[in-house]
Amino acid sequence: MVIDAELAWEKLVRRDADAELFYAVITTGVFCRVGCASRRPKRENVRFFGTAMEARGAGFRPCNRCKPDIARGSVLDKIRAHIEANLDRAVPLAELALVAKLSPFTVQRLFKREAGVSPLQYQRALRTNRLRASLKQGDSVTDAIYNAGFGSSSRAYEAAPLGMTPARFATGGKGERIGYASAPTPFGWMVVGATERGLCWLALSATKPEAEETLRDEFPKAELRRDASLAKLIDAALASVREGSDLRESRLSATAFDLRGTVFQLRVWNALRRIPRGQTRTYSQLAREMGEPNATRAVARACAMNRVAVLVPCHRVVGVSGSLTGYRWGVERKKKLLVAEQAR
C-alpha cells in the first residue's frame, strides 16, 4: 500500500482516531496509531505504515498506550457496541462470539487483553455504575474503565453491598422522587434525602433553608417532598457519632443506602464505613487498606465526592500530620464530629 506521507502527517497532527494508519518513531522504536494521544514526534523521525503488521515487520514495538496491534477498529468496537446497546441484560459470551464472528475463547482473550477485564466483568461494571454516564460525558473507554476501579485490583466488585442502580443521578436526579427531612443537631442543621431504594443524601449546614438547599442543588431535577418519617435517618447518623458502628448490626443495618458512583468511588465509600468510630485514617492509609497503594489522590477525590456525610464517615480521614484537611460540610464541623467521636 502506497501512503501519501503528506496526508498521513496531517492525520497524525489531527490525531485522526478513525484512520487505519500507523506511524513508527525511529528514535524510540515504537509504533502507534496516528490517533494516539502520546506526544507528537518530530516529523523527520516518523515512518508511516498501512498496517500494524508492517510496522512490526520493520522491527518496531507496539505502543502501550494506543495498542496499535489490536484490531480495535473492527472487532472490539463491535463487541463493545453490542454490550453497551444491551445493558439491560446479561449478554453471554456465545452471543458476543456470534457478533464478532470469532470463537468465544478468542473474544474473551482479545477483550481481556485490551480492556483488562473479561467481557462479562465489563458488562457488570457498566450496568452497576456510572460508566455509561461517564462515557456520555466524553471520557474515553479506557479512562472510564480506570475510573470504574479496574486495572489492578481483582476486588473491583467489593462495592456490591451498597447496591447501586444505574446512574439517573447523573442528570440531576431527573425522574427521581426524593423524600427529605431536616433537623437541628450539635453539628448544624442536618438534611437527609432518600429515594425508594435508600439514603442518597446527608448534608450539614448552618441553617435549615441552607441545609435543604443543598439537596436541591445536588438533585435539581428530582421531585422533592418532605417526609417526616425520614427523621429516623438523622437519629441513625447521630447514633453513629455517639455510639459508633457497633450499632451497625441493629440500627444501621436497617439503613439502606442508594449511593451511585463509579465502582472505585463505591469501594472508597465502603472503606470509609469500615473505619471504626473514634479512629482516623490518612488518605494513603485508606488507599493501602483498599489494596490500592498508588491511588491516594483518587481516594481523596472519591472522599470529596461523598454524598452521605456522617454515615459514610469521610470525616474520619485526615491529613498525614493529623491536620483536618478539607471537608465538604466545613472543617469546623469535621472537627466537632471527630471530637464527639473521641468521647467515650
Give catalytic residues, as residue numbers.
32, 314
Closer residue to Zn ion in complex, CB, 66/125: 66
Question: Could you tell me which residues come within 8 angstroms of residue 79 by beta carbon, excluding any fewer than 6 positions away?
Answer: 96, 99, 100, 107, 111, 119
Q: How many CB atoms lie within 10 A of CB 134?
A: 21
Q: How far is the CB of 116 from Zn ion (least distance, A)?
A: 17
End-to-end Cα distance, the chain: 78
Question: Are the CB atoms for 324 and 334 separated by under 8 Å?
Answer: yes
Look up residue 176 and give its three cell numbers: 427521581
Classify residue 182 by burial, with Cβ atoms within 10 Å: 0-12, 13-18, 19+.
Answer: buried
Instruction: Report the nearest approach of Zn ion to the CB of residue 15 (Å).
Output: 10
C-beta of 122: minimal distance to Zn ion in Å?
Answer: 22
- Contact window for Zn ion (CB under 5 A) among 61-69, 145-153, 224-232, 268-276: 61-69
Residues 190-229 that bind Zn ion (CB under 5 A): none
Closer to Zn ion by Cβ: residue 66 or 100: 66
With binding defined as CB under 5 A, does residue 32 bind Zn ion? yes
- Stretch touching Zn ion by CB under 5 A, among 37-45, 116-124, 147-155, 244-252: 37-45
User: CA dihedral in degrees (237, 238, 239, 240; nearest 10)?
Assistant: 50
Q: Kindly tell me which residue out of 24, 66, 314, 338 binds Zn ion, with binding defined by CB under 5 A.
A: 66
Q: Which is nearer to Zn ion, 19 or 120 (CB)?
A: 19
Half-sphere exposure of 102 (CA within 13 A, CB side): 17
Question: Based on CB atoms, which residue is closest to Zn ion, 38 or 245?
Answer: 38
Q: How far is CA 318 from CA 141, 186, 311, 323, 325, in A?
A: 33, 21, 17, 6, 6
36 is a contact residue toward Zn ion (CB under 5 A): yes
Q: Cβ 60 to Zn ion, closest distance in Å? A: 11
Q: How far is the CB of 30 from Zn ion (least distance, A)?
A: 7
Rounded distance, CA 11 to CA 28, Å?
Answer: 20
Q: How far is the CB of 35 from Zn ion (least distance, A)?
A: 9
- CA-CA distances (angstroms) from residue 117 to 64, 91, 282? 16, 15, 30
User: Interacting stretch for Zn ion, rule CB under 5 A, among 56-64, 95-103, 165-173, 241-249?
Assistant: 56-64
Which of 65, 101, 174, 297 binds Zn ion (CB under 5 A)? It is: 65
Beta carbon nearer to Zn ion, 140 or 279: 140
Kindly compute the dihedral angle of the four CA atoms of residues 221, 223, 229, 232, in this order, to the nearest 10 degrees.
-10
Contact between 63 and Zn ion per CB under 5 A? yes
C-alpha cell at 196: 425508594
Please say whether the beta carbons of 231 and 183 come within 8 A.
yes
**Which one, 66 or 204, has the nearer CB to Zn ion?**
66
By CB under 5 A, tell whether 241 contacts Zn ion.
no
CA–CA dist 74, 255 (Å, integer)? 47
Contact between 40 and Zn ion per CB under 5 A:
no
Q: Binding to Zn ion by residue 75, rule CB under 5 A?
A: no
Applying CB under 5 A, the residues found at the interface with Zn ion are: 32, 36, 38, 63, 65-66
